[in-house]
Amino acid sequence: MALRDSQPKTIHLKNYRVPDFLIDKTDLVVELGETETRVKSTLAMRRNPESEDWSVPLELHGVNLQLQSIAIDGDPLEDDEYYLGGELLSIHRSLNESFIFSAEVIVKPQENTSLEGLYKSRNMFCTQCEAEGFRKITYYLDRPDVMAEFTTTIVADKSRYPVLLSNGNPVASGEEGGRHWVTWHDPFKKPAYLFAMVAGDLAHIADTFTTASGRVVDLRIYVEEKDLDKCAFAMTSLQKSMAWDEEVYGREYDLDIFMIVAVDDFNMGAMENKGLNIFNTSAVLAKQEITTDASFQNIQAIVAHEYFHNWSGNRVTCRDWFQLSLKEGFTVFRDSQFSAAMGSPVVKRVQDVNLLRTLQFAEDAGPMAHPVQPASYMEISNFYTLTVYEKGAEVVGMIRTLLGPELFRQGADLYFARHDGQAVTIDDFVAAMGEVSGRDFSRFMHWYRQAGTPRLDVAGHYDAAASTFALTFKQHCPPTPGGSDKKPCLIPVAMGLVGPEGDLPLRAEGLDGATHAVLEVAEAEQTIVFRDVPVKPVPSLLRNFSAPVKLHYPYSRDELLFLMANDSDGFNRWEACNQLSLDILKHIIAARVDGHHLVLDPRLVRAFRGLLADQSLDKAMVALMLTLPSEALLGEEMEVIHVQAIHDVRREVRVAIARALRGELLACYDALQLDEPYSPEPEQIACRSLRNTALAYLSLLDEPALLDRIHGQAVAFANMTDSHAALVSLVNSPVPAAAPLARDALARFYEQWRGEPLAVNLWFQAQAGAMLPGGLERVRGLLEHEAFDIRNPNKVRSLIGAFANANAVNFHRGDGAGYRFLADKIIELNRLNPQVASRQLTPLTRWRRYPHDLALQMTSELRRILAEPGLSADVFEVVSKSLANLDNR
Ligand SMILES: [Zn+2]
């Protein structure tokens, strides 16, 4: 593939111009071959009446294409009538107002390891065009605001590729000799990034969905024959998503057929191509023997997410890639609502917030920090980030909190009705919300345009004589690369005041006695005074995590224990427990860094004992509350990340809890043994999650009988959730007697599942994440394993990614060998698959947060990568931004 010699260009939102030309109809004929593929395109084009300049030549995007011929209105172009430079084809012939552009190119999908454009995964051809992959298929105006009606004919060897799929509905087919062809027509105009085609020897399961208006839609999931038994769950998830989107958003499906295809080699989770979603096998295939509960839930969410895009993304799409969060933030918000409705809303919220705090806040504080609507990029693939997706979803959620559910739905209806068939902006979305509510969103827009996580400091003052309680809010957003002058955001703070008898009525300006309110904090500093407060209350702030901020309130540990037991908001009960654990762990870690040993505050053990004894609580919530904050989250909370101290203290505290609560944990483990057959339903998932949380604690005790039981659970292979949880506990247990059991369980696991790549990925992941000493050596060994393949992104993520991201204590070892290892792999991946290479870089880019000696080694590896000849734009952008301003440290 082509690699870059010169520094890639930066593209700015402020330079956006409407396209000078438009494409009304796109006709493709794709002749698939074993060494090369011929793509013939016929584009019905015209000058854009809205273009400011009618003299500009036609320029089409194209990458790695072998041009065979070009013609305008059927008349072939002479050599001097076009110019091929870089990634652009410029036409130097005077053009009519409308004309037909046709071209024939040769592409080599078999050699395409970037997994972008048309490529081969195992024995099937498939495509990935978002964001800019279509230009690797043919010359085109590859930008989302150019929308065309596509007709696609695929021609291929019939025996090797009996199934030929593309967007829309099949309209014609035929065969000649050993080859056959199918023509697909998509009546909905779409940008090229939503184009897809698949050719392969695929089997499928079929079902139907009847829409609200009574149309019957054909639903199909295409997979390799061996995977037919793993499609049922995704099919049910799809049907549930279709019903939910009709019920909650009034959105009906539009084509006669909806297809999902599972592909082994895929850069992302899945892709919402119109009518033909292409999924990473890991995001669609499921059965209890090889799929964990977490994966079942993930699959349900991703199927819903891609389906919801049919409206939020496809029918209404993005004008340019700076608007990516228009479709992603909104759609993640929609899939979160869906997941919440299918299970426990509080559990879903805790999971989302943990992800946001651990990874998105870190991104916001790192060298790649960018607003939800970025102002510039070098390589758009680098902006498929937690900020655009997860923080973007939080921003949409805040709009809903401010408007309430009815007005929010009206705003969404107006947005879809007004912009159906258009490519629009984030401002268009917010304008619809403003119009239905009469609200001014100008200050709110800082959420889209400012990077960084705002910090909200809150102080409370109780005046017993006056019976008033005053809350003072101060907000501040730290500087981020390219932005130091941050303006205050409009922060919705859902809250209540909790007294000994429960929630107190809230009386203040604009509040008339309800026990729950959403305050709108919009100034740098602002105070609200509550009247008629009979006792000193404990404020319950930011209920349900109503804004993506770092909230600081000087709670005492006893106040947190009080909220844990008394808050009426389920999320904040968890949050109080989480803050208590964090506070206790942070103190011990800080002392450890200074060489002191503190004892564990007995209140944490008492609180956990209370949780285990309370039968009234949701088991999934108890499991979440009993799980100490992760090492990654603890690191995020500290000024300097002391990896070893964090790891040691967290493990020691877990051992202390396991010893103190041995009886309770064992009773919990025994009591929650399920007799009924496995099902990925919320009640069962909650039981398994609590039971395996207890098991993880018990695995830290030096008791052979307990370890034998855990080993027994690992190798019984009753379901993947239980088997995997036991395996992970064994490989992480510091007890010497666990080591041979872990080795045996790993060997049996591989023997059992060697034919199932998704299960083997879990096996890689468990070992890559094992925090006992020697992690790097184990990972190096596994790179040579027969099941590992660096060209497969899932395997890279399971082994290299899991090691660098989820095994801090081994990755950050003092001699820098972990860093050298990752840099070597990134250099190798850069040549194969720049997108995957760039994504693996993240742990190295966070060097500023680590002690000086580690930071020095990390930056020296980053410089080594930067010096590599032929660095892709993807890797160049991340490495150069992470090294910027080195002198200002
Ligand atoms: Zn999406």
Q: What is the per-residue DSSP string for 535-560?
A: S--EEEESTT--SSSEEE----HHHH
Give the strand pairing for 538-541 and 317-318. Answer: unpaired
Structure confidence by residue, pLDDT tens digits, 575-592: 999 999 999 999 999 999
Give the N- to C-terminal CA distance of the chain in Å, as an integer: 37
pTM reported for the whole predicted model: 0.98
What pLDDT band is residue 6 in, cutting at 50, 70 and 90? low
User: What are the percentages of helix, strand and coil residues in the chain, rounded to 5?
Assistant: 45, 20, 35
Q: What is the per-residue DSSP string for 273-339?
A: -TTEEEEEGGGT---TTT--HHHHHHHHHHHHHHHHTTTBTTTBEESSGGGHHHHHHHHHHHHHHHH
Centre of ligand 1 from the C-alpha of residue 139, in Å: 25
Q: Can you say how many angstroms the Cα of residue 508 is from the centroid of all Cα atoms in its chain?
A: 40
Centre of ligand 1 from the C-alpha of residue 387, in Å: 13
Six-digit token pair at 61? Answer: 């995007």
Locate tokens 């039971």: which residue? 691
> Does the pLDDT at position 53 exceed 90?
no
Structure confidence by residue, pLDDT tens digits, 59-75: 999 999 999 999 999 99
**pLDDT at position 549, please?**
98
Which residues, 6 or more positions from 877, have their beta carbon under 8 angstroms from its beta carbon?
A: 8, 377, 378, 379, 382, 838
Centre of ligand 1 from the C-alpha of residue 306, in Å: 6
**pLDDT at position 2, please?**
39
**pLDDT at position 683, please?**
97
**pLDDT at position 482, please?**
83
Q: Can you say how many angstroms the Cα of residue 492 is from the centroid of all Cα atoms in its chain?
A: 24
Centre of ligand 1 from the C-alpha of residue 328, in Å: 5
Q: Which residues of 812-839 are buried (b: 16+ CB within 10 A; e: fewer)?
A: bbeebebbebbbebbbebbbebbbbbbb
* Angle, helix 817-832 to helix 852-866, in steps of 10 degrees: 20
Q: How far apart are CA 129 and CA 140, in angstroms?
A: 12
Centre of ligand 1 from the C-alpha of residue 279, in Å: 12
Please indicate whether residue 306 is annotated as part of the active site. Answer: yes
* Mean per-residue pLDDT over the chain, rounded: 97
Structure confidence by residue, pLDDT tens digits, 118-174: 999 999 999 999 999 999 999 999 999 999 999 999 999 999 999 999 999 999 999
> Does the pLDDT at position 1 exceed 80?
no
Centre of ligand 1 from the C-alpha of residue 505, in Å: 41
The percent of residues above 70 in pLDDT, for the chain, comes to 99
Is the bond into 656 cis (omega within 30 degrees of 0)? no
Locate tokens 């399920």: which residue? 674
> Does the pLDDT at position 3 exceed 80?
no
Centre of ligand 1 from the C-alpha of residue 327, in Å: 7
| Contact of 872 with 836, CB cutoff 8 Å | no
> Does the pLDDT at position 377 exceed 60?
yes
Strand order, beta sheet including 455-463: 525-530, 468-476, 455-463, 550-552
Q: How far apart are CA 690 and CA 171, in angstroms?
A: 52
**pLDDT at position 52, please?**
83
Centre of ligand 1 from the C-alpha of residue 195, in Å: 15
Structure confidence by residue, pLDDT tens digits, 538-556: 999 999 999 999 999 999 9
What pLDDT band is residue 86 in, cutting at 50, 70 and 90? confident
> Does the pLDDT at position 889 exceed 60?
no
**pLDDT at position 371, please?**
98
Average pLDDT of 515-540? 98
What pLDDT band is residue 685 in, cutting at 50, 70 and 90? very high
Q: Can you say how many angstroms the Cα of residue 206 is from the centroid of all Cα atoms in its chain?
A: 28
Task: Give me the catalytic one of 306, 328, 390, 637.
Answer: 306
Measured CA angle at 447 (ends 445, 453), to 5 deg: 160
